[in-house]
């Protein structure tokens, strides 16, 4: 229970040594603030360190929900001047009203907000959770398929910045690198201009004993209209260095992970002429995915499965693509040929398969995603005519080797990919070979690397792949005519995967 509580409240007190390094860097970059606000102050390590640096001339405000920590902090600061502590729920507190009391003071938002996600808090039935709202403006499809998951630190930082709405604001927060990036992306898209945005890598394993990419995020909102790099952030490999590692930001409202490298290959940035697809998603691998052993099909429950081959297809996963293991050892049941297709016909065309699926119906009913609600029995998504293309050029979304491979048919059946893989469907082996060569070229791989964030769970995404301009790719290899020939037939497999959500349209 204590472990869950620790995770629930992001209970990682910032070590004093790290607090000192952070405060020294803030002093060097911004100088002394007038007001310090720490939304989750814990036992007060940051506040005491700041007080030792800047003294009683500053006003310090600390907020904490945990009574035990707050009591400790009250005793700690009993004889300190200008420190006010409040017991408050950061998610429910009226920050806008609080910040109204300050007029022209320079405010520093300081701290180490929880490093947990809203979805994790949901799984442990936590009450310490922000009110659910689509503050990132996601589409229905995105919010249903995982993009609505966000880090609590991200929510806190954006909420505080929205509540202040002042000119003189500085922010110094420890958080996961992915959270810092999402905060900046939100601010850039909201046209919130800052003088500088900087990220300094910290050793999370050393300070918090967690294996996470983490940073100190520094943002200065003393606005400067001459700032031409307003949508660019600078990344440093440590708190001690003055030399940046790379710069990332927005280019034409899209993220670029390495601006300097991107400048060399931005001629490839455009709209892909092919529609990139993700593989199928079923969320029932123990039933749907089978392995052949000693002439028998075995499911994830260890059962021998006796079904027809009618709906059985060879399957490759991300690890197979990344390691070029293209001889399938797994098979998957595909109950539909298109989205929302009724599955009752399986009883007629493959009765043993129908009986097998019904035997395990309870596992399908336990699937949590709302995309399966009110859909035919045993429905999957990420399915369409492109799924059954006999030739595909594919890449794993999970690995960092960025290697495109040809996925051929197996025993005259199209090979199916899972939803961690991305691909373009091709009409022939020749077409697949043509684009595999171009996609694996130095220019294309360098372009992709300039867009990829290596700390992401999925370095490769459809958003990145669909930026590859196939016409330009063929052009730089002086094969525009051949490229044009294949691009003219690229629409043969086109229809949207989104229809699983937006049925009426």
3 state DSSP class of 416: strand
The CB-side HSE value for 449 (13 A sphere, CA atoms) comes to 16
Q: Which residues of the chain have pLDDT under 70?
A: 1-11, 117-150, 166-167, 193-194, 222-229, 494-505
What CA dihedral angle connects 331, 336, 338 and 343, to 10 degrees?
-170
Structure-token pair, residue 385: 């005519």
As to burial, measured by CB atoms within 10 angstroms (0-12 exposed, 13-18 middle, 19+ buried), residue 330 is middle
Q: Is 410 within 8 Å of 449 (Cβ atoms)?
A: no
pTM above 0.85, yes or no: no
Q: Give me the DSSP letters along 97-143.
A: HHHTT-SSPPEEEEE-----BHHHHHHTT-S--PPP--TT---HHHH
3-state SS of 198-258 is EEEEECHHHHHCCCCCEEEEEEECCCCCCCCCCCEEEEECCCCCCCCCEEEEEECCEEECC
Question: Residue 50: its pLDDT value, please?
Answer: 98
3 state DSSP class of 353: helix
Provide the sign of the torsion angle of the four alpha carbons 94, 98, 104, 109, taken in this order.
Answer: negative
Question: Residue 8: its pLDDT value, please?
Answer: 38
Question: What are φ and ψ of residue 12, in 5° steps?
Answer: -125, 95
Question: What are φ and ψ of residue 295, in 5° steps?
Answer: 80, 0
Residue at token pair 């070029």 = 324
Q: Report the alpha-carbon distance of residue 250 to residue 231 in Å, rounded.
A: 6
Domains, the chain: 2-251 (3.40.50.150), 277-500 (no CATH)
Among candidate residues 41, 79, 32, 78, the one with its CA nearest the CA of residue 59: 32
Q: Is 59 within 8 Å of 99 (Cβ atoms)?
A: no
Question: Residue 271: its pLDDT value, please?
Answer: 84
Residue at token pair 């019904």 = 358
Q: Label the pairing between strands 246-251 and 232-236.
A: antiparallel
Please name every residue paired with 37 in a beta bridge, in sequence order, or none if there are none. Answer: 61, 109
What are the pLDDT digits (tens) for 419-444?
999 999 999 999 999 999 999 999 99
Question: Residue 138: its pLDDT value, please?
Answer: 45
């Amino acid at each position: 229970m204590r472990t869950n509580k620790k995770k629930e409240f992001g209970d990682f007190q910032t070590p004093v040594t790290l607090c000192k390094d952070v405060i020294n860097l803030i002093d060097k970059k911004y100088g002394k603030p007038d007001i310090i606000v720490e939304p989750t102050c814990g036992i007060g390590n940051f506040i005491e360190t700041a007080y030792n640096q800047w003294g009683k001339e500053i006003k310090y405000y600390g907020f904490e929900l945990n009574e035990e920590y707050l009591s400790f902090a009250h005793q700690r600061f009993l004889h300190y001047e200008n420190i006010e502590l409040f017991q408050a729920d950061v998610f429910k507190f009226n920050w806008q009203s609080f910040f109204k009391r300050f007029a022209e003071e320079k405010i520093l938002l300081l701290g180490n907000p929880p490093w947990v996600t809203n979805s994790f808090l949901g799984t442990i039935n936590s009450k310490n959770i922000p009110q659910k709202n689509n503050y990132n403006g996601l589409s229905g499809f995105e919010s249903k398929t995982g993009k609505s998951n966000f880090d609590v630190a991200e929510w806190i930082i954006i909420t505080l910045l929205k509540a202040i709405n002042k000119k003189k604001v500085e922010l110094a927060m420890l958080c996961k690198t992915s959270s810092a990036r999402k905060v900046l992306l939100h601010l850039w898209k909201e046209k919130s201009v800052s003088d500088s945005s900087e990220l300094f890598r910290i050793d999370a394993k050393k300070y918090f004993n967690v294996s996470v990419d983490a940073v100190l995020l520094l943002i200065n909102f003393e606005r400067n209209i001459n700032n031409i790099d307003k949508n660019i952030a600078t990344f440093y490999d440590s708190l001690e260095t003055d030399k940046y590692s790379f710069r990332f930001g927005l280019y034409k409202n899209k993220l670029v992970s390495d601006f300097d490298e991107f400048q060399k290959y931005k001629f490839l940035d455009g709209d892909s002429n092919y529609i990139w697809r993700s593989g199928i998603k079923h969320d029932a691998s123990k039933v749907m995915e089978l392995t052949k052993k000693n002439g028998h099909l075995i499911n994830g429950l260890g059962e021998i499965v006796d079904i027809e081959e009618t709906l059985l297809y060879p399957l490759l996963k991300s690890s197979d693509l990344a390691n070029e293991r293209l001889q399938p050892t797994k098979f998957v049941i595909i109950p539909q040929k298109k989205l929302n297709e009724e599955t009752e016909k399986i009883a007629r065309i493959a009765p043993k398969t129908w009986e097998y699926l019904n035997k395990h119906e309870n596992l399908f009913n336990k699937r949590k995603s709302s995309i399966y609600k009110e859909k035919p029995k045993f429905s999957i998504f990420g399915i369409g005519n492109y799924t059954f293309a006999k030739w595909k050029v594919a890449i794993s979304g999970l690995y960092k080797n960025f290697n495109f491979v040809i996925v051929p048919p197996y025993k005259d059946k199209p090979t199916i990919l899972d939803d961690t893989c991305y691909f373009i469907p091709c009409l022939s082996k020749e077409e697949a070979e043509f684009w595999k060569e171009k996609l694996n070229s130095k220019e294309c791989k360098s372009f992709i690397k300039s867009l990829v964030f290596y700390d992401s769970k999925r370095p490769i995404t459809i958003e990145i792949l669909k930026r590859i301009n196939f016409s330009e790719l063929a052009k730089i290899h002086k094969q525009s005519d051949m490229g044009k020939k294949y691009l003219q037939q690229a629409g043969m497999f086109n229809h949207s995967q989104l229809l699983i959500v937006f049925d009426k349209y």
